Amino acid sequence: MVELRRSSRIQNPSPPSSTEPVAKKAKASDGQSVPKLEKQLEVGDSIPDLVLKNEDDEEVQLSELASKTTYLAIFAYPKASTPGCTRQACGFRDSYESLALKHVTVVGISADSPSAQKKFITKQNLQYSLLSDPKREFIGLLGAKKTPQSGVTRSHWVFKNGKLAIKKVGISPEASFGEIGSDVDGLEEAKEEPEVFKAEDAEAAGDEAKDEALNGEDVDQEASKDGEA
């Protein structure tokens, strides 16, 4: 009886070619999955339609919040009731009235729970709302997620008519509340400058038209006199 022999190709299958996928997910050197890069909001982008909770455990739709004010200033802090975050929050508290006169709505945000935000507001007598973003979803879009696992980078942003206009990530508590007023002033100047030039140009054009009209009258009068002579 003839003995059947198994093919060597079956016994020793060839390794996969370099073009074949070796793994479905990329792995880091420590064996963990490499986190996906998040798309971040850039200047000119609209505020996302996300819903977060405030200190009263109420849902707040970001796009609706931005639609109620000309300028929406959002500042991020690592943890409520810690020294640096307290200085930052109190700085915005002390600047609140002057910013309100410039049509600026101030809102703070961190990964703290609504109850922790409530205690922070009560203890420091804050006049504005604090949003809770435990998954750091919005914080990540703003570019202030410190690491994939935890942490928030101290920052602030200004949305003008619902679009991101100012983005400052990684600043000190004093710089955060200290610069926000000048940031808004800069946006106001940028808004008014074209209108100023437009008005000046219109005024100059009107003056030129008047001069031409007066010159035309003078020429007509001289011609009339010459004809009479």
Q: Which tops the pLDDT comparison, 9 or 106?
A: 106
Domain membership of residue 222 (yes or no) is no
Does 43 score more than 50 pLDDT?
yes
Q: What is the tens place of the pLDDT at every residue in 15-29? A: 444 444 443 444 444
Least confident residue range of 16-20, 144-148, 152-156, 169-173: 16-20
Domain membership of residue 204 (yes or no) is no
90 is catalytic: no
At 146, the amino acid letter reads K
Concatenating the DSSP letter of every residue in 7-68 gives -HHHHSPPPPPTTS-S-SS-B-TTSSBPPPPPP---TTPBPP--EEE-TTS-EEEHHHHHHT
Dist. CA 169–CA 76, nearest whole Å: 9
Bin 170: left if φ > 0, else alpha if -120 < ψ < 50, else beta. left
What predicted TM-score, i.e. pTM, was given to this entire model?
A: 0.69
Residue 208's pLDDT is what?
Answer: 53
Share of the chain above pLDDT 90, in %: 64
Does 164 score more than 80 pLDDT?
yes
Across the range 206-224, mean pLDDT stands at: 53
Residue 189's pLDDT is what?
Answer: 86
* Domain membership of residue 132 as a residue range: 37-193
Q: Which tops the pLDDT comparison, 217 or 55?
A: 55
Report the number of distinct structural domains present in the chain.
1
Residue 219's pLDDT is what?
Answer: 44
Residue 18's pLDDT is what?
Answer: 42
Q: If DSSP codes are grouped into helix, strand and coil, which group holds residue 172?
A: coil
Across the range 66-72, mean pLDDT stands at: 97
Q: 153: Cβ–Cβ under 8 A, 6 or more apart, which residues?
A: 76, 78, 143, 144, 145, 146, 169, 170
Residue 195's pLDDT is what?
Answer: 45
Domain membership of residue 227 (yes or no) is no
Q: What is the mean pLDDT of the chain?
A: 80
Domain membership of residue 28 (yes or no) is no
Active-site residue, selected from the candidate residues 62, 76, 80, 85: 85
Domain membership of residue 209 (yes or no) is no
At 141, the amino acid letter reads L
Domain membership of residue 177 (yes or no) is yes
Domain membership of residue 173 (yes or no) is yes
Domain membership of residue 4 (yes or no) is no
Residue 190: which pLDDT band, with cuts at 50, 70 and 90? confident
CATH number, residue 111: 3.40.30.10
